[in-house]
Chain A
Amino acid sequence: MSEGNLRIRVFGMLRNYSDRDGYIDLGGVNRSHLEVRTLKDVVKEYFKLNHPDFDSELINECAIANQSEVLQSHAPIGIQDEIAILPPVCGG
């Protein structure tokens, strides 16, 4: 019941590969057993398949977050949460 298309927001350099609204669509993903570390594997596979010019190992340096916190590697991906993938930051 938690199977469905998973769209995640992307920022920074990953926007080069997103749609106009800043999302990438990972396709059908079962969110009920998805953790941050396994989501990263899904994202890496997405880039290998769709954007082979992108070094997918850079995903290892990205964080996964919802709107209120950066999630730890073993954290589950909530069914309702909007999920974002955050490259290394450099504000200011």
Chain B
Amino acid sequence: MLDIRVSDEPIHLSSINWESLSREDCGAGNSFFGMVRNRNHGRDVSAVAYDAFVPLAEKTLQEICNEAFSQFGSKGSIFIRHRTGKLQVGELSVVIVVHTPHRDEAFKVCRYVIEELKVRVPIWKKEFYTDGETEWLKGHALCSHADVES
């Protein structure tokens, strides 16, 4: 089961229905939380704005999750929330919760999803600095992925 959403809705851990994410055939759960940090590349950060091509982002995340289950021979559930919009330091930008039958694949699937998310999902990040400047962060080009798969 996949439950994936990219939206401007704030993420609060207290609002996640953790019990609903577990499955009777899954004995392991693993989670990853990403949040806005106050410093990056030597600059003081006050906020981050996320931009996303939402339909393609959610579809790509589904593909990544299915790849993860396939690659690590597992089944289970994955819950993903990723923010768009402007976030202050400390706010949650991404949450990934994985349930699998055993702990080894729970760790591997969770790690695979966040690492692939960072290089394949159409989401962009703009940092706001305490000195008033802003900058869109450099990232990973998607055009090479498309042509490699041809």
Contact = CB atoms under 8 A, between A and B. Distances in A.
B124 A12 contact: yes
A90 B140 contact: yes
B138 interface: yes
Contacts of A91: 50, 52, 57, 82, 94, 117-118, 121-125
A73 B147 contact: yes
Interface in A50-68: 61-68
Contacts of B150: 72, 74
A87 B59 contact: no
Given A9-B53, A12-B51, A72-B150, A89 B143 contact: no
Contacts of A63: 141-143, 145-146
Bin the interface of chain A by size. 20 to 34
Interface in B119-138: 119-126, 136-138
B60 to A, nearest CB: 9
Contact of B143 (A9, A68, A73): A73
Contacts of B119: 89
Interface of B, helix, strand, loop or mixed by DSSP: mixed
Most central of B59, B118, B121, B139 by chain A CB within 10 Å: B139
A89 B82 contact: no
Contact of B142 (A13, A15, A68, A86): A86
A73 B117 CA distance: 22
A79 B125 CA distance: 31
A11 B53 contact: yes
A88 B147 contact: no
Given A90-B137, A92-B117, A70 B124 contact: no
B146 A12 contact: no
A84 interface: yes
Contacts of B137: 90
A91 B73 CA distance: 26
B2 interface: no
Interface of A: 9, 11-13, 15-16, 61-74, 84, 86-92
Given A11-B122, A70-B56, 6 more contacts: A69-B59, A70-B146, A84-B122, A87-B136, A89-B118, A90-B124
7 contacts: A11-B53, A65-B53, A67-B55, A86-B53, A91-B52, A91-B122, A91-B123
